Amino acid sequence: MANIKFFSGEKTPLEMHKVRIIQKLSLPPVEARAIAMEEAGFNTFLLRNRDVYLDMLTDSGVNAMSDQQQAAMMIADDSYAGSETFFKLAAKVEELFGFQHFLPCHQGRAAENMIASTFIQPGKVALMNFHFTTAKAHVTRLGGKVEELVTKEGTKTTSTHPFKGNIDLDALRESITRLGKQVAFLRIEVGTNLIGGQPVSLQNMREATAIAREHGIVTVMDASLLQDNLYFIKTREEAEKGKSIREITREISDLFDIIYFSARKLGFARGGGMMIRDEAMFDSMKVMLPLFEGFLTYGGMSVREMEAIVVGLDESMDEDIIAHGPMMTEYMCEELLKNGVPVVTPPGGLGCHINAREFLSHVPAEQYPAGALAAAVYIAGGVRGMERGTLSEEREPDGSEHVAEMELLRMALPRRVFTHSQVRYAIDRITWLHRNRHLIGGLEFIEEPPVLRFFLGRLRAKGDWQNQIVAQFRKDFGDSL
Ligand SMILES: *Cc1c(COP(=O)(O)O)cnc(C)c1O
């Protein structure tokens, strides 16, 4: 993704890597896809991978590894305690982020569990730019509450604001004044997942953490999506353009007391970790590690994954590498927009987000438009996305639906995985579906789990709209898969 222009003037995301290991894919015919969707309870989480052509469910744990990462995995130091691989990882963390204390853990939510267990009791409030499903669930599990302070621009689906993940600083001051000692910590999700992978500016982080520091409030960064956010700071924030990715990383890190991440996203691997600045705080938190995760020098991770993270973190400092995801996302969003499909703008990180509320304006919120659209996109193209809307919310205590602020279908673009023609195929099928959107109806639950229902819940179509999509597909595409 270096600065390479096309003679034609075409704006094409150009890969600065080549494919050296491949996985064969298959695409079942549309009739089989409709049956697979019914069997999966209209929940894309419950599909079998063998029935999926392009898996755009998530960017978590499915990013492609580099040759350097694979090579590093061969020399991992396997040991329960004292593994050299751990010390290599801790040294890399200190080099890039400047933290001396590091706790490895099995994935991002494990860090969230330890942070919530340390700071949350009933009545406490965690301030956040925006929640993430697991981050919020750990706070509420312990009787705490979450307050979201993202700027108004953040939850507008259509915008030109370059940093929609920013915190509203006046709202932050107001919350701190009103809540006083009830504030447990300030958590900034750097790269805001649920509103479309939207970034936070370095300036906003400086100001928000300064306000927190004035009031003695612990500052936490969720760095799971930091990689994309670094690219956006470098390319969208005028004052930071002259700095290297490493310099920006270090400047961000210096603002926080705790940084945690899911290595399923940051570092192109699997696992996670948490950095803690204060030694006493570190000592009080590390006792949880052997209880929930594993010994201090592996934390539930395979040492091979830890070797891969060491290399992956270094690769995340390379602008050519981190540009790939955001540029593919931008391409997909812009092409869909040209075809009249409503997507979240400006394009963010991690994938293209389709505005299901507008796409399926005839489907009521209580019938889960984004869930229905996810099912329809799979039937139309064998492409699996993820519902990020009302279905992903918990019900209100009285059992009524909590209608989500944004009703999105996320088509994630795992980093370094898909080719340009595969993304074009997804654009084509989504565009076709948009022309035929009147065919798509709503969903209703047949099995609804009480927590995080979107993972395991089963639903059915209201009517038999899945079969109408199949019939229209045959009419328009003939014998095509
Ligand atoms: C994925 C994610 C997490 C949770 O990480 P896991 O490794 O899936 O447990 C937390 N925060 C953000 C912003 C994420 O994207």
pLDDT, one tens digit per residue, over 9-36 is 988 889 999 999 999 999 999 999 999 9
Residue 229, pLDDT score:
98
Q: Which of 80, 87, 455, 477 is catalytic?
A: 80
SS3 326: helix
| Structure confidence by residue, pLDDT tens digits, 334-364 | 999 999 999 999 999 999 999 999 999 999 9
pLDDT, tens digit (0-9, with 9 covering 90-100), for 362-377? 999 999 999 999 999 9
Phi, psi (5° rounding) for residue 93?
A: -60, -45
* Closest C-alpha to ligand 1, atom 10: 108
- Regarding the beta carbon of 107 and ligand 1, being less than 6 Å apart is answered yes
Q: Is 133 a catalytic residue?
A: yes
Distance CA 441, CA 461 (A): 7
Pocket of ligand 1 contains residue 134 by CB under 6 Å = yes
Q: Which pLDDT does position 10 carry in this prediction?
A: 87
Give residue 113 CA to ligand 1 midpoint distance, Å.
Answer: 12
Give me the percent of the chain exceeding a pLDDT of 90: 95
> Catalytic site residue 454?
yes
Determine the distance separating the centroid of ligand 1 and the alpha carbon of 354, expressed in angstroms: 21
Q: Which of 132, 188, 261, 388 to mutate to test the pocket of ligand 1 (most atoms within 8 A of CB)?
A: 132
CA distance 293 to 346: 38
Q: Does the pLDDT at position 1 exceed 60? A: no
Q: What percent of the chain has pLDDT over 70?
A: 100
- Ligand 1 pocket member 225 (CB < 6 A): yes
For residue range 117-175, list pLDDT tens digits in order: 999 999 999 999 999 999 999 999 999 999 999 999 999 999 999 999 999 999 999 99
**109 C-beta closer than 6 A to ligand 1:** yes
Residue type, 209: T
**CA-derived radius of gyration, the chain:** 22
Model confidence at 470: pLDDT above 90 = yes
CA distance 303 to 273: 13
**Mean pLDDT on 445-472:** 95
| pLDDT value of position 2 | 66
Residue 138 beta carbon below 6 angstroms from any ligand 1 atom:
no
Residues 364, 41 contacting (CB under 8 angstroms): no
Residue 388 is a catalytic residue:
yes
Among the residue ranges 219-223, 284-288, 394-398, the one predicted with the least confidence is: 394-398
Range from 3-12, 33-42, 54-63, 199-208 carrying the lowest mean pLDDT: 3-12
Examine the residue annotation and report whether 265 is marked as an active-site residue of this protein. yes
pLDDT at 389 exceeding the cut of 60: yes
Which residue has its alpha carbon closest to ligand 1 atom 14?
224
Mean predicted lDDT score pLDDT of the chain: 96
Strand 183-189 and strand 125-128: the pairing is: parallel
Look at ligand 1, atom 8, and give the residue with the nearest C-alpha: 108
Among 33, 92, 265, 304, the one annotated catalytic: 265
- CA of 224 from ligand 1 middle (Å) equals 6
Cβ atoms 54, 421 nearer than 8 A: no
If residue 465 lies in a helix (H) or strand (E), which one and from where to where? helix 465-477
Contact of 362 with 462, CB cutoff 8 Å: no
Residue 280 pLDDT greater than 80, yes or no: yes
The count of other CB atoms within 10 Å of the CB of residue 287 is 10
Whether the CB-CB separation of 200 and 186 falls below 8 Å is answered with no
Q: Is the pLDDT of residue 415 over 60?
A: yes
Structure tokens at 327: 């540029």
